[in-house]
Structure 1
């Protein structure tokens, strides 16, 4: 499994409740794609949401997001961590 950070743009004004709803939608179906979403962060002023996950591929991460109704604008593999 690899680690991925994905980014969603254009979510200006997102609330904590909306972020939780979107994250919960991912969690509800993540196992079907072999993905484990670890955490999500949002910056409502910048309109950005970041999601950290472990997955077999970037495509699997994107499939979960698409099925949950919020396609990621970017999905980045994170090969190094400390």
Structure 2
């Protein structure tokens, strides 16, 4: 499967608890689309949230986000990474 980084805007002043709740909501239904949300980051000042996932397609990622009420503004494949 491919990794994807998606970006959400408009989450100004997001708290760690709110980020965790959004991530948990995605993970609760992710298997229905064959997606696995690995990690999420946020910048409360700019209101930007980033999510890293493994999925069969960007559309599968978006469907999960739409169902949990936080549609991604951008979804980018991550074909190369290092740790």
TM-score (norm 1): 0.98
Q: Does 1:36 align with 2:36?
A: yes
Query: Which stretches in structure 2 are left out of the alignment for 5+ residues?
Result: none
TM-score (norm 2): 0.97
Match of 2:23, SS state, is: helix
Residue 13 of structure 2 is matched in structure 1 by 13
Residue 47 of structure 1 is matched in structure 2 by 47
Match of 1:40, SS state, is: strand
Runs of 4+ in 1 over 4 A off after TM superposition: none
Residue 58 of structure 1 is matched in structure 2 by 58
Counterpart CA distance in 1 for 2:21 and 2:81 is 28
Shift of 1:4: 0.2
What number of residue pairs does the alignment pair up? 82
Query: Which stretches in structure 1 are left out of the alignment for 5+ residues?
Result: none
Shift of 1:81: 1.0
* RMSD of aligned Cα (Å): 0.4
Shift of 1:77: 0.4
